Chain A
Amino acid sequence: MTSELPPEFIVKIDYNMCRQCKRCVMNCSFGCMHFTDRVVPEHKLCVACQRCVTFCPEHAITITKNELAYKENTNWSPETRQNILKQAETGGILLTGMGNPRDYPILWDHLLVDACQVTNPSIDPLREPMELRTFLGRKPDRLEFVESEDGEIDLATELEPQVRLDVPIVFGAMSYGAVSLSVHRSLAMAAARSGTLMNTGEGGLHRELYPYSGNIIVQVASGRFGVHSEYLNTSAMVEIKIGQGAKPGIGGHLPGEKVDEDISKTRMIPVGSDAISPAPHHDIYSIEDLSQLIYAIKEATDYEKPVSVKISAVHNVAAIASGIVRAGADVVTIDGFRGGTGAAPMVIRDNVGIPIELALAAVDERLRNEGIRNNASIICAGGIRNSGDMAKAIALGADAVVIGTAALVALGCRICQKCYTGNCAWGIATQRPELVRRLDPQVGAERLTNLLTAWSLELKEILGSLGVNSIESLRGSRERLRGIGLDPRTLELLGVKPAGVGQ
């Protein structure tokens, strides 16, 4: 049966401008462009990834929505009907990529930052030091000192391992397999240059990236792909992945077609076999089990590396995070429901989880109320779009934020949400060698470094306008935030006052 789905997009080619160079045909990885006596698009195959539009030297291509493919109806949106048709044709779960695109409120856009006037002067970051240095890891509640034999004061408390970040931004977990090696290389180089961390995701670490060990978070997920002793020790930090914001409670599946020689070696699975991550860890069915894994990893790494536990933002996230800290985690990473993914069932991505803003506020407040906030760092992931979001997240209580989607956009991603097809025209979410080649890691690393530099400069401007010169004075300082257009209950949950209220 041929599909009844009308094309989602219309590819318009201005034949007066086209000089038939065929660059679009070569660039389209979805097979949408053909050349007969001229370029002929097959509209149905277009995913609006913008590759052809970007590379057409004559700017002869425009892609538009197929506006009235479905007659207007507020209740039955084109997408709703399209999805029903797809499922009627296939009987399958709808797959999708990237983060939740639905029209849920974005609370970052309802938070406003304070600034100084007169009584507390703002500080010019171009003239005064402005400190962003951040340490991830468990801190004691207090320090103890002893007087040494020579009459000097010595530190008696031994601190658990701390990982230094020069910018409070780490790259999100994206596995080799879901993304290309070029992406991993770009992330690792940029992390090293910027003094921060990249995260391997659940697919192991390619040996060529071992030299970047000081800037790498190695992940241990339910599939345990690529996990071995050397891997755990080739890192700045180890992360146990319990959940992912885009698909809380759901495992992962890397199709066998993507498992080539290199990925097979890295993941330690046979070439061409599916890599299936179970929904739960089969050795974690309780908080005690998690504690065992945390300490197994600490044993394996000689207590030299902080262990992070990543969870998705779900209803009871604060209590869960508290349990995780008490179970021995040094860092809690919370991933909100806007966090990205290479592939997830659409129904899960679009309907499960809670916004990171609320989850972060709840976790930070809970840990403080229990007097254990110092015992773990909080990393906030899932939907950080710009330095403003980052500043607000830090003010709500995060030690650092994660960027995944934003990093991919810097590398060329156009958020077409077709990562799960393996056809990424930008060389990001693909293993097709001719596509992977499109992403030059040197260029990628430079673009990512630029992004981190730009956000750092912007964050320093924000700190300066707040009249503080160190990130510690923004972290958790909700007094410097105000809510606009939020109901009283939401304000209370976020712990911020409404705009218009002074101190």
Chain B
Amino acid sequence: MRCNCYIPSGCSVSGIMSESGRRQDGNAIIKSIALMHDRSNGLGGGFAAYGIYPRYSDLYAFHLMFDNIAAKERCEEYLKDMFDIVRDEEMPTRPGGVYEGVTAGRYEEEGVQPITDPPILWRYFMDVPEAKTRFVSDREYVVGQVMEINSEVEGAFVASSGKNMGAFKGVGYPEDIGVFYKLDEYKAYIWTAHGRFPTNTPGWWGGAHPFCLLDWSIVHNGEISSYGINKRYLEPFGYRLELRTDTEVVAYLFDLLVRRHKLPIELAAKVLASPFWEDIDRMPDRERGITTALRQVYGGALLNGPFSIILGHSRGMVGFNDRIKLRPMTCARKDDMLYMSSEESAIREIAPDLDEVWSPRAGTPVIGELDEGVA
């Protein structure tokens, strides 16, 4: 399942969030990403959803992919040692399901099969045993276990590992992946989606977006040209970057900057897509001091290359572009809803009547946050 190749991507992204925490099913996000069918090539699609497991909201929900039964057994042995497994079950799927919308009937034309050959998909709701976290925090412990499984347990891959959220991804067009995973049966207050156009190598199930760690999820259109140094920057902090895809660095960088270094999200976004020196030099004193220090200290975390990214986390959604906006991103609002997408059409498709539509400036994050007291 895991291939040793690095996969740059073309892609489409879309995100929907209710700032008041209203949960809605996956039909809208599927419809939105389906409109951008031609931005992907059938080699990967996926979704992240927040608020989907209210009954188990205190437990870490692990979505796992296994190459075969032996890998599942190996991994479960490991999980049993490391966690208290409260519940585990096969992921509900709809094998052979095909999206019945604008893209229906294209398969024969294009000679591409809908979802085929999925790995074993299983989910686990788990607690961290108290004895394991005497010297590290819960979340630090979970990060360590995710790294360990992804690097050391052959044939097993953690698709997501947060609380009350999950990633649903695989090889295929995103709309079909959505149908396959029965997303119409889940309800979430944040949905993000990704359609993939990898420009080399076969896609693999684990390599589809979103990339997740704890409750961070990343969908990404573009390529991280600074991957080499971002990877070397992260490694001494204990992150193991062995998935060979540039997007994972974005998830880990957010984890490092926001969870471990406690930077506010605005400042973390400034690290990843920093303002240019010529603009920094013109900033007022306080802001210039902060921005200069961020660039001096976090140079290895600067993301360079073309990208538009939607970051999901349990309290919100952040969209941002590279420093010179080499990839598209449009945002919109309607009442309590915040939309982000590669194309305005993909927003209009599900919300024709909008209060506000805008294209964020290069490097300027758009930050959506749940209202206080919600969820």
With A129-B278, A131-B277 in contact, do A154 and B286 touch (Cβ < 8 Å)?
yes
What residues of chain B lie closer than 8 Å to A478, measured between beta carbons? 228, 232
Interface string of B226-238 (1 = CB under 8 A from A): 1111011101110
Provide 5 A-B residue pairs closer than 8 Å at the C-beta atoms, listed in order of the A residue. Answer: A120-B8, A143-B263, A368-B236, A371-B236, A477-B227
B: contact size bracket: 35 or more
B107 at the A interface (CB under 8 A):
no
**Which B254-299 residues have C-beta < 8 A from chain A?**
260-264, 267, 274, 276-278, 286, 289-290, 293-299
Contact of A152 among B199, B263, B286, B296 (CB under 8 A): B286
Residue of B nearest to A374 (CB): B297
Which chain A residue has the least Cβ–Cβ distance from B201? A502
Which residues of chain A have C-beta atoms less than 8 A from B6's C-beta? 502-503
A153–B290 contact, CB under 8 A? yes
**Do residues B297 and A139 form an inter-chain contact, with CB atoms below 8 A?**
yes
Partner of B225 from A144, A154, A155, A468 at Cβ < 8 Å: A468
Max count, chain B CB within 10 A of own CB: residue among A140, A144, A467, A474: A467
> Do the beta carbons of A473 and B304 come within 8 Å of each other?
yes
B6 to chain A, nearest CB (A): 3
State the Cβ distance, A334 to closest chain B Cβ, in Å.
18
Residues of A within 8 A of B324 (CB): 123, 128-129, 469
Task: Judge if B300 is at the interface, Cβ distance under 8 Å.
Answer: yes
Q: Is B5 among interface residues, defined by CB-CB distance under 8 A?
A: yes
Considering only residues 122-147 of chain A, those with a C-beta below 8 Å from chain B are 123, 128-129, 131, 133, 135, 139-145
Verify A159–B226 contact, CB threshold 8 A.
no
Q: Does B295 contact A159, Cβ atoms closer than 8 Å?
A: no
A57 proximal to B (CB < 8 A): no
Residues of B within 8 Å of A479, CB to CB, are 227-229, 231
B261 touches A142 (CB 8 A): yes
Partner of B228, one of A368, A369, A480: A480
Specify which chain B residues have a CB less than 8 angstroms from the CB of A135 in the assembled complex.
Answer: 296
Size range of the chain A interface in the assembly = 35 or more
Asked if B343 is at the interface of the complex by the 8 Å CB criterion, the answer is no
User: In the complex, what's the smallest C-beta–C-beta distance from B38 to chain A, in angstroms?
Assistant: 17
B75 at the interface (CB under 8 A from A): no
Report if B248 contacts A (CB, 8 A): no
**Chain B, Cβ-Cβ closest to A122:** B225
Q: Is the CB of B302 within 8 A of A473?
A: yes
- Chain B residues contacting A162 (CB-CB under 8 Å) are 296
Interface residues of B, Cβ cutoff 8 Å to A: 5-6, 8-10, 199-200, 222-223, 225-229, 231-233, 235-237, 244, 260-264, 267, 274, 276-278, 286, 289-290, 293-300, 302, 304-306, 323-324, 326
Residue in A476, A480, A502 whose CB lies within 8 Å of B5: A502
A373 in contact (CB, < 8 A): yes
Contact residues in B for A503 (Cβ distance below 8 Å): 5-6, 8, 227, 244
Is A119 in contact with chain B by the CB < 8 A criterion?
Answer: yes
Beta-carbon contact of B226 and A473 below 8 Å? yes
CB pair A472–B293 under 8 Å, yes or no, is no
Specify which chain B residues have a CB less than 8 angstroms from the CB of A476 in the assembled complex: 228-229, 232-233, 300
A116-B225, A152-B286, A373-B236 given; name 18 further pairs at CB < 8 Å: A119-B9, A119-B199, A129-B277, A131-B276, A141-B297, A142-B261, A143-B298, A145-B290, A154-B290, A369-B236, A370-B236, A374-B300, A468-B225, A472-B226, A473-B302, A475-B229, A477-B226, A502-B5
**Cα(A228)–Cα(B262), bound, Å:** 44
Contact between B300 and A159, CB atoms less than 8 A apart? no
Tell me the residues in window 461-503 of chain A with beta carbons closer than 8 Å to chain B beta carbons: 466-470, 472-480, 502-503
Report chain A residues within 8 Å CB of B237: 371
A143 to B276, CA, bound (A): 20
Cβ of A87 within 8 Å of any chain B Cβ, yes or no, is no
Q: Which of B223, B293, B300, B305 is in CB contact (< 8 Å) with A155?
A: B293
**1/0 per residue A91-120: CB within 8 Å of B?**
000000000000000000000000010111
Q: A120-B306, A473-B229, A480-B228 are in contact. Are A142 and B297 (CB under 8 A)?
A: yes
Question: 9 tightest CB-CB pairs across the interface, nearest first?
Answer: A479-B228, A503-B6, A472-B299, A477-B228, A473-B226, A473-B304, A477-B229, A468-B304, A120-B223
- Considering the complex, give the chain A residue whose CB is closest to the CB of B296: A135
Task: Name the CB-closest residue of A to B289.
Answer: A155
Please measure, in the bound complex, the distance between the C-alpha atom of A472 and the C-alpha atom of B304, giving whole angstroms: 9
Knowing A143-B261, A145-B267, say if A368 contacts B232 (CB, 8 Å): yes
